[in-house]
Amino acid sequence: MNHFTAQVSTLPITKVAKQAFDLFSTYKEPALQHRRFKHRDIVPLIEQLKQQPVFDVQVVGKSVEQRDIYMVKAGSGKTKVMLWSQMHGDEPTATMALFDLFNFLQQPGKLASLQQHILENVTLYIVPMLNPDGAEKYMRRNALEVDLNRDALRLQSPEARLLKDLRDTISPEFGFNLHDQSRYYTVGNTSKPATISFLAPAFDHAQTVDSVRGSAMRTIVGMNEALQEIIPEQVAKYSDEHEPRAFGDNIQKWGTSVILIESGGYPKDPEKQYIRQLNFASILSALHLIAGNGYEDYEQEDYYKIPENARNLYDLVLRNVRYNRSGQDAMLDVGIFRDEIDAPVGKGYYLRGFVDEIGDMSVFSGYEELDADGLTLVPGKVYEKPVNCLADLTPDLANDLLSKGYTTVKLETLPAAIESINPLELPLNVMSAAAEINHELSLNGDANFSLQNVNGEVLYAVVNGFLYDVQAEKTEQLHGLVL
């Protein structure tokens, strides 16, 4: 170990993570800007790595639909570390971060001493996108509709057999199992989103801790310390409950210290670019710890002090709103989720808002909340005078209709290719002139309302689960639907 790597090996983990986080733009892979990228988008990036002497790139297997699965090797250190991402096709955040990691490894810039420290002490084996067929359709499972993370025992999928074979052949001391989790998880019972969650998977129902699992737990304690400096109180621990069919649990049993990273939610980060940055910093901080055996300085008991995540979040919560139905006047909270629906337009998806909870929501939180005390929820109205075409639904008309309690407009003729309409361009919902719809407040029903004061003046509107301030000068978001 030379003088510079010796110096970096003693750097506090918080400083390493903060440096990686602050310099992230230097390493961010520009070809990946949205999370619904596909196998064909990353293949050219991987092929380019073959030109860099720091990497050894191999096709190590094929998916059910015969897409190549790559492994990228870097470093010459005695400690072997294997990282794999996107075994669930719709969990791509860490895959983006791995390509940022590749850029760091080949052009480290101001973090050259950290790069050298890692490459001299660690050998990396990286599998970006284990499930390319799932990524193609942006779905969790593979082309056999098997959940790869429940196929560690039967090994019926070629991707699962490949992961098992790589683990057995390489025999890494550490493994990083990289996932995304729902954005609706919180840190314990707080209102804070569980933006990053860690887990050292248990290899038995008793949740036994041996030296292998203990090393994973200690490393997580260090990673948590690092992230607390960047996103305080937004790091959680996933449940330690044993899942006998899962790869993390079994790889832990087979002798590799497994660290699970779950990328959750963060306000106003729909494409998870900020969480991608956190992944990059977190992974680098972990590799720094492993390269210098710094994880041994942490107490595994502190792993249990990390709050467990809980599903307590909604996209939008309306609090203390009045609602009258069947002659009954009540003060309610309303919780709204926004489901992601596949679409061939825009970014490949749109969001559909629906009501998931009505009543006392004092134990829940929202990414967005409105205290509607003094306001009454009125079902959104349908503007019965049909508009000729979408082009006639101008911003001025939309704002005028919203101020009068309308959330849906009828069109004389819907376009023949309805699927070509991008909801991100609709200020209101649209429907055919002959259609009928009811916007009454109901569980699992659509989320289209106006919120009115005692004088009947509309102050806010909810269109497709998105809150509009009708008094604002302009509408900043467009999220209507074709009903």
pLDDT of 437 over the 90 cut: no
Both 297 and 399 in one domain: the answer is no
Both 291 and 349 in one domain: the answer is no
Question: What pLDDT shows up at residue 4?
Answer: 47
pLDDT of 395 over the 90 cut: no
Structure tokens at 400: 């005028």
Question: What pLDDT shows up at residue 417?
Answer: 65
Both 298 and 359 in one domain: the answer is no
Range of the domain at 449: 313-469
Looking at residue 18, which CATH number applies to its domain? 3.40.630.10
What count of Cα atoms within 13 Å lies in the side-chain half-sphere of residue 474? 3
**CA–CA dist 315, 338 (Å, integer):** 7
* Residue 228: inside a domain: yes
Both 55 and 128 in one domain: the answer is yes
Q: Is there a contact between 79 and 290 (Cβ–Cβ < 8 Å)?
A: yes
Per the model's pLDDT, the better-predicted residue between 40 and 350 turns out to be 40
Q: b/e for 26-48, b at 16 or more Cβ within 10 A?
A: ebbbeebebbebbbeebeebbee
Both 431 and 286 in one domain: the answer is no
Question: What pLDDT shows up at residue 2?
Answer: 52
Whole-angstrom distance between the N-terminal and C-terminal Cα of the chain?
65
Both 252 and 366 in one domain: the answer is no
Q: How confident is the model at residue 411 (pLDDT cuts 50, 70, 90)?
A: confident
* Residue 80: inside a domain: yes
**CA–CA dist 198, 225 (Å, integer):** 12
Among 311, 327, 362, the domain boundary falls at 311
Between 13-22 and 273-291, two packed helices, what is the crossing angle to 10 degrees?
140
Among 259, 294, 311, the domain boundary falls at 311
DSSP 319: E
* Residue 481: inside a domain: no
Q: What is the pLDDT of residues 173-221, one digit of tens each?
A: 999 999 999 999 999 999 999 999 999 999 999 999 999 999 999 999 9
* Residue 477: inside a domain: no
Both 302 and 323 in one domain: the answer is no
* Residue 66: inside a domain: yes
pLDDT average, residue stretch 392-403: 89
**CA–CA dist 391, 409 (Å, integer):** 13
Provide the domain count of the chain.
Answer: 2
Q: What is the DSSP secondary-structure string of 263-297? A: E---TT-TT-HHHHHHHHHHHHHHHHHHHTTGGGG
* Residue 398: inside a domain: yes
Among 282, 311, 340, the domain boundary falls at 311
Q: Is there a contact between 35 and 112 (Cβ–Cβ < 8 Å)?
A: no
What is the pTM (predicted TM-score) of this model? 0.94
Q: What is the pLDDT of residues 241-289, one digit of tens each?
A: 999 999 999 999 999 999 999 999 999 999 999 999 999 999 999 999 9
Both 29 and 156 in one domain: the answer is yes
Structure tokens at 54: 């720091």
Percent of the chain at pLDDT > 70 equals 96
Both 280 and 202 in one domain: the answer is yes
Using alpha carbons only, give the angle 268, 270, 275 rounded to the nearest 5 degrees.
Answer: 85
Cα pseudo-dihedral 201, 205, 207, 209, rounded to 10 = -90
Structure tokens at 376: 């009454």
Percent of the chain at pLDDT > 90 equals 84
Question: What pLDDT shows up at residue 441?
Answer: 95
* Residue 474: inside a domain: no
Residue matched to tokens 């909870």: 357
Looking at residue 374, which CATH number applies to its domain? 2.30.40.10
| Separation in Å, CA 475 to CA 385, 397, 431, 461, 469 | 23, 12, 21, 11, 8
**CA–CA dist 27, 49 (Å, integer):** 14
| Separation in Å, CA 412 to CA 239, 314, 390, 408, 432 | 53, 36, 10, 13, 7
Structure tokens at 177: 């199992």
Both 171 and 283 in one domain: the answer is yes
* Residue 443: inside a domain: yes
Structure tokens at 231: 């996103």
Both 125 and 262 in one domain: the answer is yes
* Phi, psi dihedral angles at 429 (to 5 degrees): -70, 150
| Separation in Å, CA 374 to CA 157, 322, 335, 469, 475 | 57, 7, 18, 16, 24
Both 249 and 148 in one domain: the answer is yes
